[in-house]
Amino acid sequence: MPKILAIETSCDETAATVAEYGSRYFQVLENVVSSQIKIHIATNGVVPEVAARAHLQKISPVVKQAIKKSGVSLKDIDVIAVTYGPGLAPSLLVGSEFAKGLGLAAGKQVLPVNHMLGHLYSALVKNPKLPLPNINLIVSGGHTYLVYLAAGKKGLPGKYKVIGSTVDDAAGEAFDKVAKMIGLPYPGGPSVAKAAVRGKHDYLFPRPMLNEKNYDFSFSGLKTAVLYKIAGEKLDISNAQTRADIAMSFENAAVDVLVKKTIRAAREYKAKSISISGGVAANQKLRTELAKAAGKLGLPLAIPDFKLCTDNAAMIANAAAIMLRQGIKPVSPEKIKINPAADL
């Protein structure tokens, strides 16, 4: 079986995966992720230069560990896949330059992979026979997309089309900002979700763009509504129950918009399945509510395992395998260039 070494360093996770694939087969042999969460807690967010320095320290040992634990050697690797964007430029440079150097030294070609494409296809890792066409909701720290994924040849995913995106803050970004607003620790998404479980009073925050005749999202206004509620009513955010109520109210509003727009898109585009991906796809309320709504439509819902929701190299390896099956060719290492602002 052909084997892929995938490298992912788009933000604050240094990750490497060794996987093998066939015409309808994909198997992760080893997946290693080195998290930087403890480093960025001090600054309550990711500082690009700090993230890049951490990548520089971890990239070589992480790749070596992935290869060693996979039970294969570098000479067994057929293609090196690496994230070229979108992401933080300093972080992307570490991964891409390492992949280029390794490719040149080992005589391997390199396949540049869009980070968001990795998220788009991530639900297919454990659901390779997911019925297509599919509506995929990508919800990560910096991006929120609704994507129509068509069926391609030989059971492969076909062309995809972004049918909706965020016009300002992404969902994950809003979670982080609201967490900071009410004194919850970084990373904000898990902190808000954890606090929301204890919420009792719903402040009924607005659902921005819910009734617009498009599939775009806006979370800046929702974030501002939280700020105004705290300031206007002089809410005591030092009180644990108040924090929990705000967290629950914000989460309810954000999830409501995400779910209803996804379901509306699935109806309009006559999708045969729904999937979610990205870091916010780990949110339990989003998973539960979208599963209920998809069930009412009679559509299967595919969700990546929790470890494949946040940034990881397994999803990059999976995307690379699909691209290779689709006939997309890797290139010589020196042709690899990063694009921090790459779109899907």
Give tens-digit pLDDT for 266-287: 999 999 999 999 999 999 999 9
Of 182, 281, 269, the C-alpha closest to 223 is: 182
Tokens at residue 303, please? 């969700």
| φ, ψ dihedrals at 46, nearest 5° | -85, 125
Left if phi > 0, otherwise alpha if psi is -120 to 50, otherwise beta: which for 250? alpha
Superfamily of structural domain 3-119+308-335: ATPase, nucleotide binding domain (3.30.420.40)
Helix (H) / strand (E) containing 318: helix 314-325
Its CATH class, for the domain covering 133-303, is alpha beta
Confidence of residue 14 (pLDDT cuts 50, 70, 90): very high
Question: Would 3-119+308-335 and 133-303 be classified into the same CATH topology?
Answer: yes
132 has pLDDT over 90: yes
Where do the structural domains in the chain lie, given as residue ranges? 3-119+308-335, 133-303
Beta strands in the chain (DSSP E): 3-8, 13-21, 26-35, 79-85, 109-114, 134-139, 144-151, 157-165, 273-277, 301-302
**d(Cα 12, Cα 5) in Å, to the nearest integer?**
19
Of 5, 161, 142, 158, the C-alpha closest to 78 is: 5
24 has pLDDT over 90: no
163 has pLDDT over 90: yes
154 has pLDDT over 90: no
Residue written as tokens 């998220």?
119
**d(Cα 261, Cα 287) in Å, to the nearest integer?**
15
- Which pTM was predicted? 0.95
Three-state DSSP state, 301: strand
142 has pLDDT over 90: no
Question: What is the per-residue pLDDT for 305?
Answer: 93
45 has pLDDT over 90: no
**d(Cα 125, Cα 57) in Å, to the nearest integer?**
29
Q: What strand order describes the sheet that includes 13-21?
A: 26-35, 13-21, 3-8, 79-85, 109-114
Three-state DSSP state, 155: helix
**d(Cα 323, Cα 329) in Å, to the nearest integer?**
8
Alpha-carbon dihedral sign for residues 183, 189, 192, 194? negative
**d(Cα 75, Cα 99) in Å, to the nearest integer?**
15
Residues 6+ apart with CB under 8 A from 18: 3, 4, 5, 6, 28, 29, 30, 66, 67, 70, 72, 77, 317
* Average pLDDT, rounded, for the chain: 96
Residue 206: asked if its preceding bond is cis (omega within 30°), the reply is: no
Q: What is the pLDDT of residues 70-126, one digit of tens each?
A: 999 999 999 999 999 999 999 999 999 999 999 999 999 999 999 999 999 999 999
